[in-house]
Homo-oligomer: A and B are copies of this chain.
């Protein structure tokens, strides 16, 4: 049985994801789809709208055969570290292909771009350094540096979010020598950040925006999501009374920033260049998360970067945690969130060959990765009633979801 890997957030799973999943299966000719899915916090530094267990169930009901977790310590990171975590997870599962969505849609051009980058590495690094020195954000500086080595029009546009991620996957595969064949499927008719729903294919951003503005699922959203998503969204709201959003965490975040000494704030992953002073000063008069972010963001500190930092403050993730994790330069385990019968068979097939443990619940191995994961779970559920916190957290130690 051959597998194809997908790297996903499903926040929430929508018709575009369904399209990608179906196309990936066709193109890879795989009989088992493995999704490496971010847990409760996502790459752009946001809480997932519903928890990872509900999102796992949707994925399984929609055609994915095996859902494994991209640990928090890799999921809430810039694209390079994110990609390393996701690709390494797929490699550990002997996944021969990975299929990602991109604005560009032609895998050959990603390879060419990678070759140019390898050849022009020194120039690229110098240019990147130059633009960062001018106060640009990392994505902006990268874009200019790529342009300076010829990676612009005609080639892969490395300023589009899904091209950037895809390119990072290709880089990770090449740099670590994994025998994974990357493929790509063109994303159509919607842009990553599009904020309104205009058809049955809508961005997750626009869907979240509609959901968070109301307390039920609007018709516009209904047309853009499959039934399992609809049911899971309803179910989660009924159980907990919330769809998670940064605003729910704002008072917690504000409290934390106010009661942390500067040195403690500076020890949080991502807090650099004296940002701790700015965080403390600006939070005082902020009345909402959005309001505060508007005050806080600068050319260099993009909204995404700041959100990631806020997530690390909320989960108390320290620089030292991430440094230690990088030092080990390997994943200590793979954690299964859910599987179909096919997924189970696949796991059975590869189990003898894998070098690392495959856990079906949150491990109690006291590894840094699992300790950080547990903190993320606690922080994520902290806005719920104590009874719901206990109930939902228990899912971490239940057997994986089966569909």
Residues of A within 8 A of B (CB): 250-252, 254-255, 258-261, 264, 284-288, 314-316, 371, 375, 378-379, 382-383, 386-387, 389-390
> Chain B residues with Cβ under 8 A from A314's Cβ?
259
Q: Is the CB of B386 within 8 A of A316?
A: no
Q: Is the CB of B286 within 8 A of A386?
A: yes
Minimum CB distance partner of A377 in chain B: B258
> Chain B residues with Cβ under 8 A from A375's Cβ?
258-259
Q: Report A388 CB to chain B, min CB distance, Å.
A: 10
Q: Is the CB of A255 within 8 A of B382?
A: yes
Q: Is the CB of B252 within 8 A of A315?
A: no
Q: Name the contact of A254 in the complex, choosing from B288, B386, B387 (C-beta under 8 A).
A: B386
Q: Is the CB of A390 within 8 A of B259?
A: no
By secondary structure, the A interface counts as: helix
Q: Is the CB of B378 within 8 A of A288?
A: no
Q: Is the CB of A285 within 8 A of B390?
A: yes
Q: Is the CB of B315 within 8 A of A259?
A: yes
In angstroms, Cα B314 to Cα A285, docked, is 21
Q: Is the CB of B386 within 8 A of A255?
A: no
Q: Name the contact of A386 in the complex, choosing from B261, B287, B389 (C-beta under 8 A).
A: B287
In angstroms, Cα B261 to Cα A375, docked, is 9
> Chain B residues with Cβ under 8 A from A285's Cβ?
390
Minimum CB distance partner of A257 in chain B: B378
Q: Is the CB of B371 within 8 A of A261?
A: yes
Q: Name the contact of A382 in the complex, choosing from B258, B288, B316, B371 (C-beta under 8 A).
A: B258
In angstroms, Cα B252 to Cα A255, docked, is 9
> Chain B residues with Cβ under 8 A from A255's Cβ?
252, 378-379, 382
In angstroms, Cα B288 to Cα A284, docked, is 29
> Chain B residues with Cβ under 8 A from A259's Cβ?
314-316, 375, 378-379
In angstroms, Cα B286 to Cα A378, docked, is 14
Minimum CB distance partner of A292 in chain B: B386
> Chain B residues with Cβ under 8 A from A379's Cβ?
255, 258-259
Q: List 18 A-B contacts (CB under 8 A).
A: A250-B386, A251-B383, A251-B386, A252-B255, A254-B382, A254-B389, A255-B382, A258-B375, A258-B378, A258-B379, A259-B315, A259-B378, A260-B316, A261-B316, A261-B371, A286-B386, A287-B390, A288-B386
> Chain B residues with Cβ under 8 A from A251's Cβ?
382-383, 386
User: 6 nearest interchain CB pairs?
Assistant: A258-B378, A255-B382, A287-B386, A259-B316, A259-B375, A259-B379
> Chain B residues with Cβ under 8 A from A316's Cβ?
259-261, 264
Q: Report A136 CB to chain B, min CB distance, Å.
A: 32
> Chain B residues with Cβ under 8 A from A288's Cβ?
386
> Chain B residues with Cβ under 8 A from A284's Cβ?
390
Q: Report A34 CB to chain B, min CB distance, Å.
A: 31
In angstroms, Cα B385 to Cα A288, docked, is 10
Minimum CB distance partner of A387 in chain B: B287
In angstroms, Cα B320 to Cα A264, docked, is 13
> Chain B residues with Cβ under 8 A from A382's Cβ?
251, 254-255, 258
In angstroms, Cα B378 to Cα A286, docked, is 14
